[in-house]
Amino acid sequence: MRQFHQLNCECLGAHAPQVDAEVLLMLMFFLKELGFKNLKPEVNTLGCRECRPAYREALAEFVHRIDPGALCEDCQRRMGSNPMRLLDCKIPTCKEQIAGAPRIREHVCAACAEHFDTVLAILDTQKIVYALNLNLVRGLDYYTRTTFEIVCADIGAQGAVAGGGRYDGLVQQLGGPDVPGVGFACGMERLALMLEARVDDQVQARPDFYFAVLTPEAANIALLAAQSLRECHLAGEMSFESKSLKSQLRQASRIGAEYCLIMGEAEFAARCVVVKHMDSGEQATIALATLRDWAAIRCEQKMDKERRRFP
């Protein structure tokens, strides 16, 4: 398993905590669609470039009081170079030594705390059962803020099925622009070993929808609405920046979305969404409470079309 193939999902260019939640919800939905059960996300926040140095200093001070002889060779090597990696060690004796270490969530800045609280609030709203793992650091220094792993209770001690998190600054470290990013990875071999049944290949010719959000206040409710559409087997994406309607319609057209769902201040206040068919230009206003009904009809239309293609 030292050499493996990886399934990746990356979202670059967005700072919003809703993106972190969307990526995690996407991963959970994907794994459940493959047939995996007893899944639970473990989540943590690692702070940012501004607040993490103070935590590293507090952790280093704690680590230096530990007898190196009580740690494994890897942890002994990391004591001076990267004390945060000690938190992630799975060896019982090391876990005992690090049990009283300061918690990073108690040292993050107000912006990072608000970011993480928003992610957790979305998971709570979606009734995702998760565990706060305050020792989850993912083993790589480039992670910032939200980090997560998906653990499956059915596969024993090596229960991590997938993992990821936010990595603001990584693109710049690799020579690119300073853009934020968040994503996850799954080991293909592990997924293949866990699959109990073959999943039929499905090709999506074009996205079903693009969700245009015109006001920041609507970001959370729009994300949950988009997620409900995905649960009805519609594919699409949403914006996380409050750009003009014209620019977002251009984006919907660029990705080839069949529908553009629009939520501005008026729609947010009325708890509704404007659904615009990108080909015909026809549009209608639909209450959020009945959006799943619209999605179910659209899904049935897709299935009828596929049955006609492949009788």
Domains along the chain? 6-49+108-194 (3.30.930.10), 52-106 (no CATH), 209-309 (3.40.50.800)
Contact residues for 103 (Cβ-Cβ < 8 A; gap 6+) = 134
Q: What was the pLDDT predicted at 16?
A: 94
Contact residues for 96 (Cβ-Cβ < 8 A; gap 6+) = none
- Best CA proximity match to 7, nearest among 167, 190, 177: 190
Q: What was the pLDDT predicted at 202?
A: 47
SS3 category, 161: strand
SS3 category, 226: helix
Q: What was the pLDDT predicted at 201?
A: 45
Q: What was the pLDDT predicted at 200?
A: 46
Q: Which amino acid is at 115?
A: H
Q: Are 215 and 264 in contact (CB under 8 A)?
A: yes
Distance between CA atoms of residues 241 and 238, nearest Å = 9
Q: Which amino acid is at 311?
A: P
Buried b (16+ CB within 10 A) or exposed e, 81-116: eebbbbbbbeeeebeebbeebeebbebbeeebbebb
Predicted TM-score (pTM) of the model is: 0.73
Q: What was the pLDDT predicted at 96?
A: 81
Q: What was the pLDDT predicted at 17?
A: 95
Q: Which H/E stretch holds residue 253?
A: helix 245-254
Q: What was the pLDDT predicted at 309?
A: 55
Strand order in the sheet with 144-152: 6-12, 181-187, 160-166, 144-152, 39-45, 131-132
Q: What was the pLDDT predicted at 306?
A: 66
- Best CA proximity match to 187, nearest among 220, 149, 241, 156: 149
DSSP bridge pairs for 150: 41, 162
- Average confidence (pLDDT) per 10 residues, the chain, 311 residues: 80 94 93 83 90 82 80 78 75 80 85 94 93 77 88 68 90 91 88 61 73 94 94 91 91 95 96 96 96 92 69 51
Q: What was the pLDDT predicted at 199?
A: 46
Distance between CA atoms of residues 52 and 207, nearest Å = 39
Q: What was the pLDDT predicted at 139?
A: 59
